[in-house]
Amino acid sequence: MPEVILKWTRNILMYVLMALFLVVLISAVTSRMNGGTPKILGKEILTVLSGSMEPGIKTGAIIAVNPVRDQAGQTAFQPGDVITYQALDGSGSLITHRIVSISGTGAELAYITKGDNNDAQDPSPIPAGNVVASYADFTVPWAGFLMNWVKSTAGIIIVILIPGVYLVISSIVTMFKAIMRMDDDSAEPQAAAGDSPPVTNG
């Protein structure tokens, strides 16, 4: 009985990992083709490039975030919430850190943030207008490495082009074989009609 349970557990884990792999793969390929952020069930998928939020969020992990669309959403966060915001240097880079306190009100509201694994707070308060998403408490360790690779030129070639070429060639070969079989089948009755009847020595 324990062996059966262990076997079922292994199978379930394998299927779960395969499902996660396919989700990451499809999401990465779709975002590469559309030129946007990967999305799954309405949540955006981001890759974490640093260890500032470890141990909760690993370097190279993917995280799910809830997009923030308006000012009401940008100003609704409280200390302890984890937010994703645009860096203040204008580079467009996204940073995911935890809010430790809030300063100002209304249009002047800003968040003081800190990475869980950092010793000090971030150097400057983050204006609420820079917040683009909130962490949805879902992460898959190291899956970001796979997603970034799939979105690269080499990844696209290996994951899409090579299988695509293989499928095209395989389909052509299959069609050719089917046509050859049809020709052989149509030729057999004609050959049979021209055959001489068997001869016996009487």
What confidence tier does 28 reach under pLDDT thresholds 50, 70, 90? low
* Residue 33: pLDDT over 50: yes
pTM, whole model, 2 decimals?
Answer: 0.64
CB neighbours of 154 closer than 8 A, spacing ≥ 6? none
Q: Is residue 114 within 8 Å of 100, Cβ to Cβ? A: yes
User: Does the pLDDT value for residue 145 go beyond 70?
Assistant: yes
- Number of alpha carbons in the 13 Å side-chain half-sphere of residue 187: 6
Q: Which fold has domain 38-141?
A: Umud Fragment, subunit A (2.10.109)
The mean pLDDT of 102-108, rounded to a whole number, is 91
Q: With 50 as the cut, is the pLDDT of residue 201 above it?
A: no
Identify the residue with better confidence: 196 or 2: 2
